[in-house]
Amino acid sequence: MNPSEASPASLDRREVVAQLLSGRGDALLITGLGSTTWDAAAVGDGAANFYVWGGMGGAAMIGLGLALARPERRILVITGDGEMLMGLGALATIAVQRPKNLAVVVIDNEVYGETGMQFTHTRHGVDLAGMAAAAGFESARTVYTQSDLDTLTTVLYDAPGPLFADIKVSTERHETVLPPRDGTYLKHRFRRALLGDAEEGALAGRNS
């Protein structure tokens, strides 16, 4: 497959992620393995970011567990189309739980960027936003243009969830920006920032 034959989408993934995160406030971020993690790291590393370097297909479900545990906080999952396709059941599971504070955003370049730019199913027409809508997400959309993106940005942190957006981006590849990758470090850093030292001492109980 030749990347030059790929989608004509014009949005740039790095600019998209930078715009999405510019208004995040105290939102907590989960990224999927691969390019969406590099995209988030390029915007800036921080304790409220948890990067999933493995467990492909699990990013949205981590977001759900976090959203249910912390209903007072906004949770944003940013992942890739390949990662989302591996965990499609999560769309149904999330829709049934209806977390108002969760948004799942797919940065959809329609290829597996880390393995040689092979087409994903979205390149062949599989409609992730349609699947999320059919599952019962409160809001689901596909973003094609800057105007679409601007509209999404205005509702991403405020609209009642669960919210889903599939953002079509170009296949242009960027410098790989590597955030920390030690899982225990990322976990402790995130929990300390969110829960404080006492809770991070692992005294956390039910819903606390």
Partner 1 sequence: MNQGTAPVDSSHWPEAIFDVLCDAGVGQVAYVPDAGHARLIELCIADESMQAVALTSEEEGVALLAGAWLGGARGVLLMQSSGVGNCINMLSMVQECRFPLLAIVTMRGEWGEFNPWQVPMGQGVGAALANAGVIVHHVDEAGEVAETVAAASKLAFNAFRAVAVSISQRVIGSKEWK
Q: Single out the residue of 9, 21, 30, 107 in contact with partner 1 (rule: CB under 8 A).
A: 30
Beta-carbon contacts of 113 under 8 Å, excluding residues fewer than 6 positions away, are: 34, 35, 80, 171, 173
CB of 174 to partner 1, least distance (A): 26
What is the rounded CA–CA span in Å between residue 160 and residue 2?
A: 40
Residue 121's Cα: distance from chain center in Å? 18
Instruction: Name the amino acid, one letter, at 4.
Output: S
CB of 143 to partner 1, least distance (A): 25
C-beta of 14 vs 189, nearer to partner 1: 189
Phi and psi of 78, rounded to 5°?
-120, 120
Q: Which of residues 142-161 bind partner 1 (CB under 8 A)?
A: none
| 39 to 78: interface string for partner 1, x by CB under 8 A | -----------x-xxxxxxxx-xxxxxxxxxx--------
C-beta of 147 vs 208, nearer to partner 1: 208
Instruction: Name the amino acid, one letter, at 176.
Output: T
Beta-carbon contacts of 144 under 8 Å, excluding residues fewer than 6 positions away, are: 9, 11, 168
Q: Single out the residue of 89, 160, 180, 201 in contact with partner 1 (rule: CB under 8 A).
A: 89
- The residues that touch partner 1, with contacts defined as CB under 8 A, are 30, 50, 52-59, 61-70, 87, 89-90, 92-93, 96-97, 183-184, 186-187, 190-191, 194-195, 199, 202, 204-208
